[in-house]
Amino acid sequence: MPNLHINGQPACFDEASFPKTVAALIDVRGLNRKAIVAEVEGTIVAQNDFDTHPLKDGDKIELIQFVGGG
């Protein structure tokens, strides 16, 4: 069963639901792509590359979401 480590937590997926790209992972988690910084295996992924940057079993991913407030 493929898995990712997202923000230090393991996340398991079945083959059919494994997110193939950073964009797919962000969408599965219900996050706003424009408010996310993504790091895969220690490298920041540009927002323009979210749709094409592949994920593989065992990747360590950090997703940081910006929030506004006052």
Q: pLDDT tens digits for 10-59? A: 999 999 999 999 999 999 999 999 999 999 999 999 999 999 999 999 99
The reply to whether 58 falls in a domain is yes
Grade residue 70 by pLDDT with cuts at 50, 70 and 90. low
Q: What domain count does the chain have?
A: 1
Is residue 70 a part of any domain in this protein?
Answer: no
Closest alpha carbon to 5 in 44, 60, 53: 60
CB 33 within 8 A of CB 23: yes
Question: 32 lies in a domain?
Answer: yes
